[in-house]
Amino acid sequence: MSEASASIYTGGAEDLAILARTWARPPGWIGWLSAADHKSIGRRYLVTAFGFFCFAGILALLMRLQLAQPEGHLMGPDRYNQVFTTHGMTMMFLFAVPMMQGLGIYLVPLMVGAREIAFPRLNAYSYWLFLGGGLMIEVPFLLDAGPDVGWFAYVPCPRSSIIPRIAPMSGRR
């Protein structure tokens, strides 16, 4: 063993026991929900992002069906705008970006030889925010109240003078 590696502190048995206790996953559903290890969270990001990808893929199919013939009547212009906006936002913000995040969260600690990602519980919290935020976009869409202002929502598209029903939410006139 070289002198350098001999001087690296690898943790005493007591320290390792404390670490194992601190980061152990409680059994059952509570344990599953409160998991904070980077592999679980990374996997969750990948699976959830793939779910959003499939959902946005169905929206792409709807758009293609609508545009497959002139004067298509599969949906009206308002619903089409919702489908278009939700497809774009979902693909970019709920699929493409989180997919990269999931890969990073899973792989980077393994690549650098770290035991865990920094701030594991913050990492787990961010996953639940991602899931909740994504559902806040998709559920209103399913209730016919989805965003319909273009996927980047450039002004003046999101103004109430153009889309009156968003006024109560945005407070903008």
Interface with ligand HEM by CB under 6 A: which residues?
Answer: 60, 63-64, 67, 84, 87-88, 91-92, 95-96, 151
Q: What's the token pair of residue 17?
A: 């026991």
The minimum distance between CB 59 and ligand HEM, in angstroms, equals 8
Q: Which is nearer to ligand HEM, 60 or 75 (CB)?
A: 60
Cα–chain center distance at 148: 20
- Of the pair 33, 92, the CB lying nearest ligand HEM is at 92
Q: How far is the CB of 82 from ligand HEM (least distance, A)?
A: 12
Min. distance of Cβ 55 from ligand HEM in angstroms? 12
Is the CB of residue 106 less than 8 Å from the CB of residue 39?
yes
Query: Are the beta carbons of 134 and 94 closer than 8 angstroms?
Result: yes
Residue 88 CB, nearest distance to ligand HEM (Å)?
3
Query: Where in the chain does DSSP place strands (E)?
Result: none
Residue whose C-beta lies closest to ligand HEM? 88
Burial class (CB in 10 A: 0-12, 13-18, 19+), 52: buried
